[in-house]
Amino acid sequence: MKVTLALAPVWQSVTPHLALAFLKGSLQHAGYECTTIDFSIQFRPFMVSVMGDKGAEEYISSHPRLYQGWAKQITDTKPDIVGFSILGSNLANSGLIAREVRRQLPGVMIVAGGPSMTRENLGAVQEVLTFADYVIEGEGEQALTDFVHCYEQKGDFAQLKQLWMNDAGGKAIYTGHTNLQDIDAIPYPDFTDFDRSAFPNPRKLPMLFSRGCILNCNYCENKWNHLTQRSRSGRNVFDELKHIVKTYDINEYMFNDDSLISSKTMRQLDEYADLVLAEGLAMPWNVYGTRVERLLTQPFVNKLRRSGLNRLSLGIESFSSRVQKEMGKSSRYDDADKMVRMLAGEGVAAETWIIYGYPTETDADFDETLQWFVQNPGLLRHVTANSFGPNVKYMTDRPGMVTFYGDRPGLWTSAESTMAKRKERFLALMDVLEQTRRTHRDFTFHCGDPLYVKYFNSWTARDKKFLLDSWERIEDPAGYKARHSSLFTRVLDTFGRRDKAVDMLQAAVVPTFAEKQEKKAKTVLQIGDLNTMKSDLYARIDTYLKGLPGITPDQQQQRLHDYITAIENVKVHLMDNITEDIFFALSGQGPLHLVLQDLDTHAPEYLAQRTLEFAAEFDIPQWSPATA
């Protein structure tokens, strides 16, 4: 029985996807053959960074060869069952790939699961059931193993728990929940299928110390997984650490917990740190997320730091005690302030998320958050700031608190949080964080709000200074910065979004990826003389335009001129999928309509501003401008 598990774009991560690795480990332990494929890491560099999740989704849907190729990678494994890990950012792309898998391999069983597949999020479950035969809700290791066994034995799926399916009338039905797993008994994750060289640190892997969260924040959909927090024993986690050090030769790891440090985990963490220190396995490790824990002590933080803790992300969200209470948090201002100071005192880089514009946040509440940053500019290393977005979880917990208008998620208002107030708070927060960045070189911040783009697009000299500083700080033992200097020049010239630019810079110096793309690009160019290929392409475009019904000669000449101008201005980035269309068309191998589609959609601004001068990268003579 062969199972292939896939992660579709878009999902950005600095390590291999832990959920797929856990599922593979459990299936292999049960005796089933399993292959995992991470398509997101194949697509992620540059495209997601520049376009964002939604833009990347639209790009993939308009380029069938992408998802058709990904589907072929799945069907080439000759699976009996195909599984998709569904996230909010990859649901649509998972559907594209799954339907193509079904076309290429009729009759294959398709199952899906993921953190957003819950009864409270029924709409998403129903959407997934349009391309998957079944959906697993909740923890998947044992549930998927039971599903594969049932399929192998031709059993009755209705007898399994945690399963969504459509009844004869097309209505989604659920078979019911089951007891939570003993997480100490779950087999270790298996990372053997991942191309670890594609990640920033190939020797870094994710781990999990606990599952669930002790809190019940009223905007957090994680609680819909119905997971009360459960911790593994310190010994169990330590044994896994020894296993992955031996198996994968890691030199760094991170815990992907929702809330690593809490009253439910501190005893086990203490045991774990003692074992790490006693057996000399201290190495750098960081934490994806944790709550503010008022029981934390300085000696305990010191022990964690000595075991390797070097970075930790805190869910503070606001330095107003009233807003924290409104959000459903148990911590208050003093708890958050104390924990940040403890971490800073031990040299642990603390970072946090800040939410501005919470529906009941008053001007006085926001000022408390602002003043904390003014008074404590050096305590935090990084801040991610976002305006509050009322989701289904919040609307369920706090009905009637906000009023929506229009069809865009950001168009909502409440008594204390209007669009005008959120913009005012955004600008105030950005100015304070920027001042901190100017005075503390190690401090960084990021914001995902659309206002952020407009704000930073107005930056010029100071934004370039930030990029120059970032470029200098990127470690480059193999000398790849020198090879990609023209990339950096283009970034400085065209990007105002410094977070996106830094992503590009970082991607440019990942040696293995750059080498692969360079080799691929050179192979394409060896097909023939570039100018000859371009002349041929222009002739093909001219013929194509003359054959369009209803087009006048003047219109035909104007469009031909526009296409030629766009192609002549193309700054072909090594990591941009558009280049494949262009170069394959240049060589006469590719369909012309894909090139024209790209040019109509993106040219000339996209091709001129979002990509790199290809010729300069490989010492190829500059293209001479063509005339229509």
DSSP string, 240-259: HHHHHHHHH--SEEEE--SS
Q: Which of 324-328, 422-426, 467-471, 520-524 has the lowest mean pLDDT?
A: 520-524
- Is 300 or 424 the better-scoring residue by pLDDT? 300
Say how far apart CA 331 and CA 291 lie, in whole Å. 8
pLDDT at position 613 is 31
Which uninterrupted H or E stretch holds 231? Answer: strand 230-231
Question: Structural domain boundaries of the chain?
Answer: 2-182, 204-458, 513-617
Q: What is the mean pLDDT of residues 327-348?
A: 93
Residue 121 DSSP label: G
- Is 174 or 397 the better-scoring residue by pLDDT? 174
The CA angle 215-218-223, to the nearest 5 degrees, is 55
Q: What is the mean pLDDT of residues 375-388?
A: 89
Q: What is the mean pLDDT of residues 55-59?
A: 71
What is the per-residue pLDDT across 213-253, written as a single tens digit (0 to 9) for each?
888 788 887 766 656 789 999 999 999 999 999 999 999 99
Which uninterrupted H or E stretch holds 165? Answer: strand 163-166
Question: What is the residue-wise DSSP string for 11-55?
Answer: ---SS--HHHHHHHHHHHHTT-EEEEEEHHHHH-TTHHHHHHHHH
How many CA atoms lie less than 13 Å away from 161 in the CB half-sphere? Answer: 12
What is the per-residue pLDDT across 413-432, written as a single tens digit (0 to 9) for each?
888 988 778 878 887 888 88
Q: What's the gap between Cα 614 and its chain centre? A: 27
In sequence order, which ranges of 474-619 are alpha helices (DSSP H)?
A: 480-483, 485-494, 498-508, 511-525, 530-546, 553-568, 578-586, 592-602, 605-609, 614-617
Tokens of 543: 């013929």
pLDDT at position 225 is 64
Q: Is the pLDDT of residue 474 over 90?
A: no
| Same CATH fold assignment for domains 2-182 and 204-458 | no
pTM: 0.73
Residue 156 DSSP label: -
Is CATH 2.40.50.140 the classification given to domain 2-182? no
Q: Is the pLDDT of residue 46 over 50?
A: no
Say how far apart CA 531 and CA 624 lie, in whole Å. 8
Report the residue count for the chain: 628
The fourth-level CATH superfamily of domain 204-458 is: tm_1862 like domain (3.80.30.20)
Q: Which of 178-187, 392-401, 488-497 has the lowest mean pLDDT?
A: 488-497
Say how far apart CA 153 and CA 487 lie, in whole Å. 55
Categorise residue 280: left if φ over 0, alpha if ψ from -120 to 50, beta otherwise: left
